[in-house]
Amino acid sequence: MKKWKYYILASLAYIGVICLIGVVEKQSPDANIKSISDAFWYAIVTLTTVGYGDFYPVTPIGKVVGLIVIIGSIGVLGYVIGEITSKFNQYMEKKKYGFWGTDFDGHYIIIGWNSFGRQVAEQIFNSGHKVAFVVNSKADVDLIKDVFPGDNCFCLFADYYNMEAYDKVNIKKSKGVYVNFEEDTKTLVFVLNLKKAYPNSNIVVTCINPELKDTFVNAGIRYVISQSEVASRLVASYIFEPFVASYTEDLITTSISGFDSDIQQYRILKDNKLAGAEYMDAFHELKEKFNAVAIGMVSHGKIIKNPSKGQMISAGDYLILISDGNTKPKLETIFGVKEGE
């Protein structure tokens, strides 16, 4: 309140000086400032640095008061420009650090930033999806924006444990949330709080200690990946089945060029002609028309590997395919959705 009192007093003093120059000048027969309105016009022209020269003080007292108006106008102009610049900088800073939020829908959220999180984000971006990052370091925001420039990337600087902040990344409309902390205990405590605040969120975590995998599952986290467990399986495969391991590693990586192959999943919409079809019929059609190989499906949340003859496909199911980058746009057209949606 004290700050506003100073502003009011300064404004009144400035207006008083303007009125004073009008009163002083109109008493001189040679004056061209003959009224209070002329004095205000003189002050406005002076304040805006236009300098028409149509009004100016001619009396000694008027010139002294006019000098005060000039100096006061410089102060007012400097203050106004400074305030506008400050407000603009504050707005841009809040926008840069995500305080205004995002309208992303059907996107993915990565909480926490490190080299592993960057690799995960690259795979998601390569598949054409949007990613919102939540980090607790402004330096990480700058780094992420340098690494992933563009409209598909949004960054929020926030306290991880401020659950209200996740509304700014539109977490309720996200398709998946990856918690990327480097300590299992920190991850476990955090996901318990996040699950409580947003029970319908699809949360994915990685754990360092494979013995804690069941603990995360019991906490309600459906997808828990043990980094050491996955790495050990891949290493073992390279030892005795190197070509299989190499092919597997290639398939789980999002295709970048038109000749890269990867595994994709596509949701069956109600108006898709494959809804109600037999899996084997879909298998042959996809292979013959698109050179895409169906290797499984998901029905009622259950993965069916290499379905047998007679397996039917229903709306809401997912087909799991292998295809290359050239085929992906065609598949997205016939399925009516992007991979993973």
pLDDT at 136: 94
pLDDT at 247: 80
Topology of domain 108-231, CATH: Rossmann fold (3.40.50)
pLDDT at 255: 65
Q: For 94, how many CA atoms within 13 A lie in the half-sphere containing its CB?
A: 10
Give the separation between CA 107 and CA 178, rounded to whole angstroms.
11
Q: Where in the chain is the domain with CATH 3.30.70.1450?
A: 257-335
Q: Where in the chain is the domain with CATH 3.40.50.720?
A: 108-231
pLDDT at 266: 93
Q: Global pTM?
A: 0.70
Architecture of domain 2-96: Orthogonal Bundle (1.10)
Give the 3-state secondary structure of residue 68.
Answer: helix
Residue 298 and residue 317 in contact, taking contact as beta carbons nearer than 8 Å: yes
Give the separation between CA 12 and CA 17, rounded to whole angstroms.
9
Architecture of domain 257-335: 2-Layer Sandwich (3.30)
Q: Where in the chain is the domain with CATH 1.10.287.70?
A: 2-96
pLDDT at 161: 94
Q: What is the mean pLDDT of each run of 10 residues along the chain (341 residues)?
A: 69 80 77 80 78 72 77 77 87 91 94 92 87 95 92 94 95 93 91 92 88 85 82 79 81 71 90 93 93 92 90 94 87 87 76
pLDDT at 3: 65
Kindly provide the b/e burial profile for residues 299-328, where b requires at least 16 CB atoms within 10 angstroms of the residue's own CB: beeeebeebeeebebeeebbbbbbbbbebb
Give the separation between CA 112 and CA 331, rounded to whole angstroms.
33
pLDDT at 256: 65
Give the separation between CA 23 and CA 15, rounded to whole angstroms.
13
pLDDT at 142: 93
Residue 321 and residue 297 in contact, taking contact as beta carbons nearer than 8 Å: no
List of residues 6+ apart from 305 with CB closer than 8 A: 295, 296
Q: For 270, how many CA atoms within 13 A lie in the half-sphere containing its CB?
A: 0
pLDDT at 114: 92
Q: What is the DSSP secondary-structure string of 12-38?
A: HHHHHHHHHHHHHHTTSTT-S--SHHH
pLDDT at 23: 79
pLDDT at 13: 80
